[in-house]
Amino acid sequence: MPKVLRKYWRLSQRSRTFATIQYLLFMGILVWTVVHGANQMGYQWQWYNIPDLFVKEFRGEYYVGRLTKGLWVTLQLTFWCVGLTLLVGLITALLRMSNSISGKALATGYLEVVRNTPLLVQLYLFYFVFSPILGIDRFWTGVVCLTFYEGSFVAEIIRSGIQSVDRGQWEAGDAVGLKKGDIYRYIVIPQAIPIMLPPLTGQIINLVKHSAIVSVIAVADLTTEGRNVIADTFMSFEVWFTVAGIYLAITLSLSIFVHWLERRAAFSR
Amino acid sequence: MQKPIIKLRGVCKLFGQFQALYDVSFDVKLGERVVVCGPSGSGKSTMIRCINRLEEHDSGEITVDGIELTEDMENILSVRREVGMVFQQFNLFPHLTVLENLVLAPMRARKLSRTEAEKTAMEYLERVRIPDQASKYPAQLSGGQQQRVAIARSLCMKPKIMLFDEPTSALDPEMIKEVLDVMIELARDGMTMIVVTHEMGFAKTVADTMVFMDHGRIVEVAPPSTFFTSPKSDRTQLFLSQILSH
């Protein structure tokens, strides 16, 4: 249960009623502003058309709607990016911590370049320069670009996680004659993962949100499909609310899942 | 004359500007029990940490069981497999059970099968008198028990030499004895040991040789009988009078 809710239940009966009224009043004003503003503009609400964008029934047969198709592309994008990002992040982190001068220089150079240029510019660079050279399609251009962007943050999360493991653990591993690779694998990484999990989740949630940017290179993700639907139907209010809601659902379920994972890890000890 | 199993010749070690070891030369014979004492910052820990290359010496020569310690990683690994080490802070692996702590290195570095490794592990847990704690995690044990697990973990690699770096300094007084008892037993079985400690009672019981260090130098080497009764150097006398006075 979120902290706010726990605090809410600890309030006295009177203050709880007061807080509820305060909250509902604020939300009411917010909703009223939107609805009233839309009416003033003469906006025609068509919420009844939204379900068709997920699944459409036509003469007894069901068809996948456009938002569902977009969502599927976003999920695929996220799936590949998460896997590759962890890989790139791990390799970069290990290179940065290695004794090799060239490895360190390579990793540091990559981190500095990627983290100090705008993501949008990187995407254009990948789309207009690298992908024609490498001959990859727009979906994979998006995957590669996002991977390198998020990978730079993940690398730092992994590095700080590994370095937060007590130095004595390394020494104990060394003292019993384990090789460096074994010390990482059996001693350091298992202890670093619980430390890295919360910031990594934050980064994956960022990844889901940042993935919307691939709509500028016309990858048919959730955002692109939303925009296309609006171009056809002019339902901009309903569609953007829905699209935002879907992103929210993905990110919230991710963080709930990781919360559960953390608690389970904590309890098994 | 028996050949020394550990040989230090003119070993120097710098930490930045601070000279931790200054021209240390010293031999340990097979089966010899050496107790190293001295004030803090005198280089005792640094010296024994150089023997299994947890610290890299800057000059001089260290030979362990005929293998010289150099940059060569294979040499370092083979020395480390012959030399067990027990730390002040135990350094058990907190995410593994006691048994897993004990079998990890034999399985990965000695390539033993799990059954073999577990059999050896249980034997050593018997010897340190805590076989019933095998499936617990380190955090569930007392300090004394943890340190005994750490000793068993080192023994599982069947080392020829054991290094102890202030093994009882982080323990509550009532737990010191159980750890020292295990170490005394180990000494009686003929293990070659170098022990950095302030436990002078222990030193009198087991040591063949006492070493006194100060400011990165070995000041005095003597058998305990002469070391405690008639130390040659004034510095040693002063140190002993301070720690034995109460």
**A21 assigned to some structural domain:** yes
**A57 assigned to some structural domain:** no
Average pLDDT value for residue range A34-52: 89
| Residues A24 and A131 reside in one and the same domain | no
Which of A213, A198, A196, A215 has its CA nearest to residue A254?
Answer: A198
| CA dist., res. A121 & res. B149, Å (int) | 56
**A178 and B CB contact within 8 Å:** yes
| Residues A99 and A191 reside in one and the same domain | yes
List phi, psi (to 5°) of B223. Answer: -65, 150
For β-strands B18-29 and B4-15, DSSP reports them as antiparallel
ipTM here:
0.91
Count how many residues are written for chain A: 269
| Residues A67 and A185 reside in one and the same domain | yes
pLDDT tens digit sequence for B179-221: 999 999 999 999 999 999 999 999 999 999 999 999 999 999 9
| B80:A175 CB<8 A | yes
How would residue A63 be classed by pLDDT, with cut points 50, 70 and 90?
confident
| A168:B81 CB<8 A | no
Which structure tokens are listed for A126? 């990948």
Chain B hits for A174, Cβ within 8 Å: 52-54, 80
**A181 assigned to some structural domain:** yes
**A52 assigned to some structural domain:** no
CA atoms within 13 A on the CB side of B115: 0
| B108:A175 CB<8 A | no
**A155 assigned to some structural domain:** yes
For the full predicted model, state whether its pTM sits above 0.95: no
| Residues A20 and A67 reside in one and the same domain | no
Residues 6+ apart with CB under 8 A from B64: B5, B6, B7, B51, B52, B79, B82, B83, B161
| A176:B93 CB<8 A | no
Instruction: Give the count of domains, chain A.
Output: 2
Count how many residues are written for chain B: 246
Report whether A162 contacts A187 (CB < 8 A). no
- Percent of chain A at pLDDT > 70 equals 98
Report whether A47 contacts A238 (CB < 8 A). yes
Scored b (16 or more CB within 10 A) or e, B76-97 reads: bbbbbbbbbbbbbbbbbbbbbb
Which segments of B88-177 are extended strands (E)? 161-165
How would residue A8 be classed by pLDDT, with cut points 50, 70 and 90?
confident
| Residues A103 and A219 reside in one and the same domain | yes
| A175:B92 CB<8 A | no
| CA dist., res. B144 & res. B186, Å (int) | 16
**B135 and A CB contact within 8 Å:** no
**A212 assigned to some structural domain:** yes
- Residue A18 pLDDT exceeds 70: yes
Q: Looking at A98-137, list the stretches that DSSP marks H as alpha helix, in order from N- to C-terminal side.
A: 101-115, 119-125, 131-134
Report whether B122 contacts B135 (CB < 8 A). no
Residues 6+ apart with CB under 8 A from A195: A161, A164, A165
**Residue in chain A nearest B138 by alpha carbon:** A269
| B109:A169 CB<8 A | no
| Residues A39 and A67 reside in one and the same domain | no
| A176:B153 CB<8 A | yes
For β-strands B192-196 and B161-165, DSSP reports them as parallel
**A50 assigned to some structural domain:** no
- Residue B19 pLDDT exceeds 80: yes
Report whether A50 contacts A244 (CB < 8 A). no
Average pLDDT value for residue range B21-38: 94
Which pLDDT does position A268 carry in this prediction? 53
Which pLDDT does position A61 carry in this prediction? 86
Chain A hits for B52, Cβ within 8 Å: 174-175
| Residues A85 and A17 reside in one and the same domain | no
How would residue B1 be classed by pLDDT, with cut points 50, 70 and 90?
low
DSSP result, A171-185: HHHHHTT--HHHIII
**A37 assigned to some structural domain:** yes
Residues 6+ apart with CB under 8 A from B142: B175
Report whether B193 contacts B199 (CB < 8 A). no
Shortest Cα distance from A60 to chain B (angstroms)?
57
Which pLDDT does position A9 carry in this prediction? 87
- Domain with residue A73: its CATH number is 1.10.3720.10
Which structure tokens are listed for B43? 């280089």
| Residues A125 and A39 reside in one and the same domain | no
User: The domain containing residue A124 runs over which residues?
Assistant: 63-268
| CA dist., res. A132 & res. A126, Å (int) | 9
| Residues A127 and A157 reside in one and the same domain | yes
Chain-centroid distance of CA B163 in Å reads 2
Chain B hits for A168, Cβ within 8 Å: 87, 89, 91
| Residues A24 and A102 reside in one and the same domain | no
For β-strands B67-68 and B59-64, DSSP reports them as antiparallel
| Residues A142 and A20 reside in one and the same domain | no
- Residue A269 pLDDT exceeds 70: no
| Residues A106 and A163 reside in one and the same domain | yes
| CA dist., res. A54 & res. B4, Å (int) | 81
